[in-house]
Amino acid sequence: MAAKQLGKVNCYSIKFRGADSKAEGMADDAFYARRVADHLGVKLDMIEVQPDVAKLLPSIVHSLDEPIGDSAAIATLLICEHARGQGIKVLLSGMGADELFGGYRKHLANKLAAHYRSIPSAIRKGIIAPVVNALPVSFRGKGLVFSRWARRFTSFAERSHNDAFMGSYTYYSKDEFSRLVCDGGAAIYERFRAEHETIFSGAFADDLINRMCFTDTQHFMPSLNLAYTDRASMAASTEVRVPFIDKEVAALAMRIPGSMKIKGNTQKYILKKVAERWLPKDVIYRPKSSFTLPIRAWIKGELRDMVDDYVLSDHGLAGRGLLQRDYLKQLVERDRSGHEDNAQRIWQLLTVEQWLRNHNFKGRIA
């Protein structure tokens, strides 16, 4: 639509090195970005991200002003800096479409979890869960996406709707968070859970999909996605506008029943049907890719020394008295062995330590 109105549009996306893409095990987003650019006749710049992007960690944590553990913040900064270098001051983002139209994997997973709970408990707990939990999440440098997703699914699918949804996108269960935090982890977790349940139960009692979408628009989107996008773009002296969350568009989206947002296993169904007017079907119905950096490969490779320094050393998180040293060591070791996928957790821990260093916290805090 922008290309039709403006005639000339500059577009930007990121791409990874081949080995890094292999470790993530995700669909190649760069291929489809090029496919869209060629279809619309717009200019596309592909920005290849390298592991030395970790050098940006002090500045991006400073710009965000809090330890946001989502590597998409750096990807956003790189795109905005590249665009600003070409004289582009305002960019359009598709952010908000996933929250409003049920586009995240967690939305589909929770819909499936409701059916999963109808399977006899003896089969779920006695057969399915043990088999899934025995699966490795990586093998010979290749990420095993199915294993990763299956293990994540069984970790929350047994719970109530609110707890399952919260568990599908938070990094730690209550037990894990209690083991991580030195003091009061369970109480902290319960406060967050109560806040989440208040939002989750506040609307759409008979529509699980819209309950999840509503919760995301009140919680996940403003606290994470909009926060890092706004601050990272300002750090590059650019402005990112998000037309999907225009108040009229958002209000209309929340009047659409959830059954039209996830139809069968097709997510963002109604939005994709509209998009068929402009885009090829192989683009619209392709596998979803995450807008994050390939941190699974980097944490096991080029960032290994940084993890040892920031997370495991006496002058890093392990020595500050905030988090349990043994549990931190376990998270890292099980990730490196391929038994668990803890990359997102470890990246978050890196940003926490970076935030503390930016503010000159020395040694132990507790």
Q: Which two tokens stand for residue 48?
A: 């290849």
Mean pLDDT of 77-85: 94
What band does 20 get if pLDDT is binned at 50, 70 and 90? low
Q: Which of 81-90, 117-126, 205-214 has the lowest mean pLDDT?
A: 117-126
Region of 204 (left: φ > 0; alpha: ψ -120 to 50; beta: rest) is left
Mean pLDDT of 281-299: 87
CA 357, CA 62: separation in Å to the nearest integer?
A: 10
Give the model's pLDDT for residue 24: 64
In the predicted model, is pLDDT for residue 155 greater than 60? yes
Provide the CB-side half-sphere exposure for 126 (13 A, CA): 5
Give the model's pLDDT for residue 146: 81
Q: What is the per-residue pLDDT across 174-183, written as a single tens digit (0 to 9) for each?
A: 999 999 999 9
What does pLDDT average to over the chain? 91
What band does 52 get if pLDDT is binned at 50, 70 and 90? confident
Q: Please state the φ and ψ torsions of residue 131, each to the nearest 5 degrees.
A: -65, -45
Question: Mind listing the domains of the chain with CATH numbers?
Answer: 2-101+234-284 (3.40.50.620), 295-358 (no CATH)
User: Tokens 């109480």 — which residue?
Assistant: 187
What band does 366 get if pLDDT is binned at 50, 70 and 90? low
CA 312, CA 319: separation in Å to the nearest integer?
A: 8
CA distances from 85 to 80, 88, 89, 93, 224 (A): 9, 7, 9, 18, 26
What band does 19 get if pLDDT is binned at 50, 70 and 90? low
In the predicted model, is pLDDT for residue 144 greater than 90? no
Question: What single DSSP character describes residue 244?
Answer: G
Give the model's pLDDT for residue 136: 82
Q: What would the DSSP string read from start to end of 252-310?
A: HHTTS-GGGTEETTEETHHHHHHHTTTS-HHHHTSPP--SS--HHHHHHTTTHHHHIII
Q: Which of 12-26, 175-189, 309-323 has the lowest mean pLDDT?
A: 12-26
CA distances from 244 to 169, 241, 271 (A): 22, 9, 11
CA angle 109, 113, 117 (to 5 degrees): 170
Give the model's pLDDT for residue 363: 67
In the predicted model, is pLDDT for residue 10 greater than 90? yes
User: Tokens 């500045």 — which residue?
Assistant: 59
Q: What is the per-residue pLDDT across 182-201, written as a single tens digit (0 to 9) for each?
A: 999 999 999 999 999 999 99
- Positive or negative CA dihedral for 265, 267, 273, 276? negative
Output the furthest CA–CA distance in the chain (Å, rounded): 62
Give the model's pLDDT for residue 232: 94
In the predicted model, is pLDDT for residue 340 greater than 60? yes
What band does 80 get if pLDDT is binned at 50, 70 and 90? very high
Q: What is the per-residue pLDDT across 238-280, written as a single tens digit (0 to 9) for each?
A: 999 999 999 999 999 999 999 999 999 999 999 999 999 999 9
For the chain, what percent of residues have pLDDT higher than 70?
Answer: 96
Give the model's pLDDT for residue 284: 95
